[in-house]
Amino acid sequence: MTGLRAGEVADAAGVNRQTLRYYERVGLLAEPDRTLGGHRVYPAETVTVIRVIKAAQRLGFTLDEVAELLDLGAHRHGKSGLQARATTKLTEVEAKSRTWRSSGTR
């Protein structure tokens, strides 16, 4: 069985193991295969998925929104939906930024 163990994925993605397990529980990551000894074994692309999740969070997406984006991105026909959702979020972030700047709060 090839793949990365939880610690390897967490280290490569810059998160801790609890974050990895949490993402599994909430459905952002598929449940990984397990070795005969019960250790989780993740495909290498899991690191990329986690990096995408973290980048989206930094941009202001909630985990529910990230789940929606990942679902749209997983389906080829969802590309236009993915772009539309990202555009909507950008509009929301820009509106919040304008409100923040005009209020003088720093």
- Which tokens sit at 52? 């995408």
- In a 10 Å sphere around its CB, with 0-12 CB exposed, 13-18 middle and 19+ buried, how is residue 78 labelled? middle
Nearest one of 16, 90, 101, 5 to 54, comparing CA atoms: 16
Given the candidates 1.10.1200.10, 1.10.10.10, 1.10.1660.10, 3.10.130.10, the CATH classification of the domain at 4-103 is 1.10.1660.10
Could you tell me the residue ranges of all domains in the chain?
4-103
Q: What distances in angstroms separate CA 23 from CA 77, 86, 93, one per listed residue? A: 25, 21, 24
pTM for this predicted structure: 0.73
For residue 99, the one-letter residue type is T
Q: Output the tens digit of pLDDT for each of the chain's 106 residues.
A: 689 999 999 999 999 999 999 999 999 999 999 999 999 999 999 999 999 999 989 888 899 999 988 887 766 555 566 667 777 777 877 777 778 778 775 5
